Amino acid sequence: MSSHKSMPRPTDPLGEDWALVRPIVESNPRFWIVVAALAAGIGLGITAYTHQVREGLGVTGMNRPVYWGIYIINFVFFIGISHAGTLISAILRLAAAEWRRAITRSAEVITVMVIVFGVSNVIFDLGRPDRALFVVQHGRLQSPLLWDVCSISVYLTCSSIYLYLPLIPDIAILRDQTTKLHWFYRLLALGWQGRPEQYRLLERAIGVLMVVVIPIAVSVHTVVSFVFAMTVQPMWHAAIFGPYFVVGAIFSGIAALIIAMAIIRWVYHLEGYLKRIHFNYLGMLLLVMTLLWFYFTFAEYLTTWYGSEPIHMTVWWSKITGSYAPVFWTMFACCFVIPFSILCREKTRTVAGTVIASIAINIGMWLERFVIVIPTLSNPRLPLDRGVYYPTWVEWSMLTGCFCFFILLYVLFTRFFPIVSIWEIQEGRMNARKDTLERIESYMPEVVETGRRPLAPVPEGVAT
């Protein structure tokens, strides 16, 4: 694309797009109320963790043989949510989907913020968190946990760069157009002047990253699933786990993005940017993922049931009719019944409709991870112990703390950086119509001079 020539200069007045800067420059009393509430939740989490470090993991509900609980569930869940951002944004950019412009930033922020909580949940789970760096110092590549360490660190690095690069022109706008924290924005803008060669470099870098980041994102959730699939434990040792986890991750990721967008739109009055059409399109994507999720779940459970190996069936029945049946069927309702019935009709694919579906999906996907981790552990091959797992206040508090901390980081981001990419919106306004038209023109069938006569017109009366 040669669109950078007519790029908006930082000196351009922001005009109508001032609405995107308003959350950064205008103070809002509601902000402090939200911060106080979130701080309380974080305080609860810190209290719980302090208690756990002092007393040991005995303060959780884990036991023998349920050696893993909420922390590992959260790890898989948060890493799953992280697929909201980088992956979806990369795919939309790659597909040159024009409607992406208003949503990519808010998606990318989710990724970077939430990975941190995925990783910290593994550390919460350690019996000896003080030895966490042993995985670097004494790491053994034979262990799937090391694969996670490698994959997730690359993913975090790339996602952070992928968030930062498209942020640079917007930071320059803040540097030039506002008076707030001038030194801060000047530092982060890296001397951005909006010159054509700078835009060319930026677009090239984004172009490389959006391709590179897709296999990395896929690998991340694949190796997360491998932590389970590489063992020989019943209903973990399945080849379907890699793709199943990737699909589940994108599924919960889109849902998280929809929720975040709805809140941003409501709090910052950005109805003009995050429009119903965005929710409709994301809702359609979500519908596809709902069906894929059903397909994978169906394939997994049918295969196990038809094979009917007793050791697998013990776990299978504990999910379908046994002690984990309430969790399993709630998951099924949240992940399939509710979202499918809302999303399959355009009439209900509204902002409210997609948000309800997304909330259901995120609850359902958390429960899905519960249904994957716990029943297998509580039904070991040798029935020495048949464990039951009830999380304690410590684990629930840590979950609350993580959510609050994540939301706080997100809120803080929106107070310092535009949550809708200003320059991409302006670029779209200026060039998208022309670029898209050119693209459409390029699809049009061309008349090829073959020297032959054109096809004879269809005779009248013949059904077409």
Q: Does 143 bind other proteins (CB under 8 A)?
A: yes
Q: Which of 24, 91, 116, 126 binds other proteins (CB under 8 A)?
A: 126
Token pair belonging to 241: 């786990």
Binding segment (CB under 8 A) for other proteins, from list 65-73, 172-180, 325-333, 427-435: 65-73
Q: Does 452 bind other proteins (CB under 8 A)?
A: no
Question: CA 315 to CA 242: how far, in whole Å?
Answer: 20
**In the complex, least distance from residue 444 CB atom to other proteins, rounded to whole angstroms:** 57
- Residue type for 125, please? D
**In the complex, least distance from residue 135 CB atom to other proteins, rounded to whole angstroms:** 5
CB-CB contact of 304 with 313 (8 Å): yes
Q: Tell me how crowded residue 239 is: count the other CB atoms within 10 A of its CB.
A: 9
Q: Does 140 bind other proteins (CB under 8 A)?
A: yes
Binding segment (CB under 8 A) for other proteins, from list 26-34, 211-219, 228-236, 356-364: 228-236
Q: What contacts 165, CB < 8 A, 6 or more positions away?
A: 202, 205, 206, 209
**In the complex, least distance from residue 380 CB atom to other proteins, rounded to whole angstroms:** 4
Q: Does 73 bind other proteins (CB under 8 A)?
A: no
Binding segment (CB under 8 A) for other proteins, from list 138-146, 173-181, 261-269, 448-456: 138-146
What spatial distance separates the first Cα and last Cα of the chain, rounded to whole Å?
A: 41
Cβ-based nearer residue to other proteins, 222 or 421: 222
Q: Which position has the token pair 């790890």?
A: 75
**In the complex, least distance from residue 235 CB atom to other proteins, rounded to whole angstroms:** 13
Binding to other proteins (CB under 8 A) within 373-402 occurs at 377, 380-385, 387
Cβ-based nearer residue to other proteins, 15 or 56: 56
Q: Which position has the token pair 């992406």?
A: 100
Q: How many residues does the chain have?
A: 464
DSSP string of 222-280, one letter each residue? HHHHHHHHTS--TTTS-TTHHHHHHHHHHHHHHHHHHHHHHHHHHHTT-TTTS-HHHHH
Q: Does 153 bind other proteins (CB under 8 A)?
A: no
CB-CB contact of 346 with 280 (8 Å): yes
Binding segment (CB under 8 A) for other proteins, from list 6-14, 121-129, 271-279, 300-308: 121-129
Question: CA 464 to CA 461: how far, in whole Å?
Answer: 9
Binding segment (CB under 8 A) for other proteins, from list 128-136, 188-196, 297-305, 433-441: 128-136
Q: Which of 10, 23, 45, 65 binds other proteins (CB under 8 A)?
A: 65
Size of the site for other proteins (CB under 8 A): 41
Binding segment (CB under 8 A) for other proteins, from list 143-151, 217-225, 285-293, 407-415: 143-151
Q: Does 51 bind other proteins (CB under 8 A)?
A: no
Question: Pick from 45, 123, 142, 36: which is nearest to 399 by CA?
Answer: 45
Token pair belonging to 93: 């950019």
Q: Does 125 bind other proteins (CB under 8 A)?
A: yes
**In the complex, least distance from residue 369 CB atom to other proteins, rounded to whole angstroms:** 15
Q: Does 301 bind other proteins (CB under 8 A)?
A: no
Q: Does 313 bind other proteins (CB under 8 A)?
A: no
Using CB atoms within 10 A of its CB, is residue 192 exposed (0-12), middle (13-18) or buried (19+)? buried
Question: CA 56 to CA 128: how far, in whole Å?
Answer: 9
Q: Does 309 bind other proteins (CB under 8 A)?
A: no
CB-CB contact of 279 with 351 (8 Å): yes
DSSP 203: H
Compute the 3-state secondary structure of the chain and give helix, strand, coil in percent, each to the nearest 5.
Answer: 75, 0, 25
Q: Does 448 bind other proteins (CB under 8 A)?
A: no
**In the complex, least distance from residue 149 CB atom to other proteins, rounded to whole angstroms:** 8
Q: Which of 109, 149, 167, 189 binds other proteins (CB under 8 A)?
A: 149
Binding segment (CB under 8 A) for other proteins, from list 107-115, 123-131, 353-361, 447-455: 123-131
DSSP string of 18-41, one letter each residue? GGGTHHHHS--HHHHHHHHHHHHH
Q: Which residues bind other proteins (CB under 8 A)?
A: 55-58, 62-65, 67-68, 122, 125-128, 131-132, 134-135, 138-140, 142-146, 149, 227, 230-233, 377, 380-385, 387
